[in-house]
Structure 1
Amino acid sequence: MKRLFSLAALLAAALPFMAQTQFTVKGTAHKDAKTLALMEIGTNQQNETINVTNGTFTINTDKPEGTVMVIMDAQNNLFNMFVVDGKEMTLDMNTDEVKGSAQNMALAKLALAMSKAKTETEQEEVLRQGLAANPNNAVGAFAMSQLMYVMSYDELKAEIEKDAPYLKHPLCAKVKPYLESLALRAPGTMFKDIEEADTLGNSHKLSEYVGKGNYVLIDFWASWCGPCMMEMPNVKANFEKYKAKGFNVVGLSFDRNADAWKKAIVEKELNWTHLSDLKFWQTIAAQTYGIRSIPSSILCDPTGKIIALDLRGEKLGNKLKEIYGF
């Protein structure tokens, strides 16, 4: 399977799930492969190196039942996923053919569909379908671990209220705490005022810009955050398109280096209001609004009421088109 989506996004923190289980995978690798990397979703480290002999390999692992693993051939940009469930499986990394338990067949189907998705929106839809089809196993838990940060507050709240079995999987350990953090900026609530300094060191309150009769995007970002900087052209394009209608952006930076923060603003021509207390993840912005990852954003209506969260990519443009009519 070609690796067309970010493996970094898969490797979110997790905890041991169930009893240790012996599990065997017999596979066929790319003809040029010599070794493969075996990684556990839930860590940022390689678990072990798997040797390839005459194009084949065997994985014998002893992991907690329900652990989701990735086998990766970085040289040939191939990967496959599997769930440790005690039932032997076989896989061909060249054709993505998998034979094993129903759970592993479902995970293989989900991963293949994700790799074929051409946009983030398509990937999200694939994951939603996977979640709906697998409420009782680790496949559903994996889908939720990828979806939780893109679901709306109401959507995530509704999923938690279902109390589906997958929520007990350690990959979902952060779901409820994340919803609690979202409650600090839930749609329908008013923005919370904070005070930080601009690039000249002058102190300003958020209330100077929000709740003054115009729509305002509060953008949480940092110059050191790669995904934030990748999103900036989209924010900039929408700011330029709608600023004549009163649309404004207030950037609240998670930087700790003032020079890097100011340099990014100038070089990227981010010509809107920027504030920061230069306290990294200890910034008052994170504490006040429950921000646990960036980029993140809040869209406020003219009264200062929060109406949407985390509008990235086409979602931001679609929402502003809905508001302004073009």
Structure 2
Amino acid sequence: MKRIIISLLVLCPVVLSAQSNFTIKGKVSGPMTALKKVYLNYNDGTAGRTDSVEIKNAEFEISGTMKDGNYNSATLAIGNSQSRRPDRQLTLFIKKGERITVDVQGALPDSKITGSVQTELYQVMRDSLSGTKDVDQSLLILKRLIVQYPDSRMAFRTFLNIFGTGQVQRFPTKFPEIANLFSLFSPQIQGSKEGLAYSKYLENVRHLVIGGTLSDFTSKTPEGKVVKLSDLRGKYVLVDFWASWCIPCRGEFPYLKKAYTRFKDKNFEILGYSIDHDKSLWISALENDDVPWINVSNILGPEDPIAREYQIYAVPANFLIDPNGKVIATNLRGELLESTLEKFIK
């Protein structure tokens, strides 16, 4: 019996260590030495995982298990809690069997990484793109990266950092190029959970970018009159999403009034859509700001299905469509609305 017990005691450490198949060792210096704990949030190939360890003598070691042979994304956070501060978060791409070292000397994203090929490559690409303000240059760099590493989750994460959910609308003329970049990823990346979600996102915004056709919708004016977007077909229309509580939205009204006064008799209309949840506040704002153009709302707040269909997660936001219902410009702020209308309406 003693021999069996001793054998089990000897075997137990081996079994436990076999459960972990990657490790991250870190050394902390500089301002980060005042922090107490390191957190690791990662996907093991099947589900999300979270672990944490104390920082002792300015060093830490944390381990985990990957259940597949792929590189999976992870976030290392340092602090007294799971910090969301960008300077205390580090993106990693971890594969089974890797022994990673992290040398933290300043902000966590600037740490020197060894032992993780994909993470090292990610940092090189991130640094290459960080000083690039030209979208065409970013597209070119990303295309080279994706063509070389179509199976890389790191490459996909880099792509999402720039052109991820909610970002494509910032580059309304570049939708074909962005969609083409996504198509260069392998079926494995496109078929992943993140890939499928992004594919759905692209499909949802396809009609919201330059050249797209806005979905029709029906809503009501303050007086209860039913209005459809398609009722205005044949005119240039600015579909303007706003809310009574949005100060920047109402700050745009003087510019909208100026453009409306100048072009309303030249086949131009504005259709305001409020995402208010209180009808009295909506009507009060219209009266106080003396808004002369058509305004509608379903009084459903920011979660309004029409707002979601139009991917409205912040206001003000607007779309300028031509008489055929095609999007010709988006997010026209200040004097840009009037100068854009000058190009189309003579």
**TM interval, short-chain normalised:** 0.5 to 0.7
Distance (whole Å) between structure 2 residues aligned to residue 242 and residue 323 of structure 1: 8
How far is 1:278 from its partner? Answer: 2.9
How far is 1:138 from its partner? Answer: 0.7
What amino acid is aligned across from residue 88 of structure 1 in structure 2? R
What amino acid is aligned across from residue 34 of structure 1 in structure 2? K
**Structure 2 counterpart of 1:96, from 111, 123, 131:** 111
Q: How many residues align?
A: 290
1:25 and 2:24 aligned: yes
Which residue in 1 is equivalent to 2:184?
Answer: 162
- Per the alignment, do residues 172 and 239 of structure 1 end up closer, same or farther by CA in structure 2, a change over 3 Å counting? farther
Alignment of 1:141-152 (within 5 A): 141-146=156-161, 147-148=163-164, 149-151=166-168, 152=174
How far is 1:108 from its partner? Answer: 2.4
What amino acid is aligned across from residue 141 of structure 1 in structure 2? F
Instruction: Give the match's secondary structure for 2:33.
Output: coil
How far is 1:253 from its partner? Answer: 4.0
Which residue in 2 is equivalent to 1:217?
Answer: 238
Which residue in 2 is equivalent to 1:129?
Answer: 141
Distance (whole Å) between structure 2 residues aligned to residue 21 and residue 281 of structure 1: 44
What amino acid is aligned across from residue 157 of structure 1 in structure 2? A
1:82 and 2:99 aligned: no
What amino acid is aligned across from residue 319 of structure 2 in structure 1? I
Which residue in 2 is equivalent to 1:203?
Answer: 226
What amino acid is aligned across from residue 100 of structure 1 in structure 2? G
Distance (whole Å) between structure 2 residues aligned to residue 123 and residue 53 of structure 1: 44
Distance (whole Å) between structure 2 residues aligned to residue 267 and residue 140 of structure 1: 51
Which residue in 2 is equivalent to 1:11?
Answer: none
Alignment of 1:236-275 (within 5 A): 239=256, 242-246=259-263, 249-258=270-279, 273-275=294-296
8 Å contact from structure 1 (residues 91, 97) kept in 2: yes
1:60 and 2:63 aligned: yes
Instruction: Give the match's secondary structure for 1:142.
Output: helix
Which residue in 1 is equivalent to 2:4?
Answer: none
Question: TM-score scaled by structure 2?
Answer: 0.63
How far is 1:186 from its partner? Answer: 6.1
Question: TM-score scaled by structure 1?
Answer: 0.66
Structure 1 residues without counterparts, runs of 5 or longer: 1-19
Structure 2 residues without counterparts, runs of 5 or longer: 1-18, 169-173
**Structure 2 counterpart of 1:291, from 282, 286, 310:** 310
Alignment of 1:150-189 (within 5 A): 150-151=167-168, 152-164=174-186, 166-185=189-208, 187-189=210-212
Cα-to-partner distance string for 1:234-273 (whole Å, 9 max, x where unaligned): 8658636744543765343445444565677789998864
1:109 and 2:128 aligned: no
8 Å contact from structure 2 (residues 74, 91) kept in 1: yes
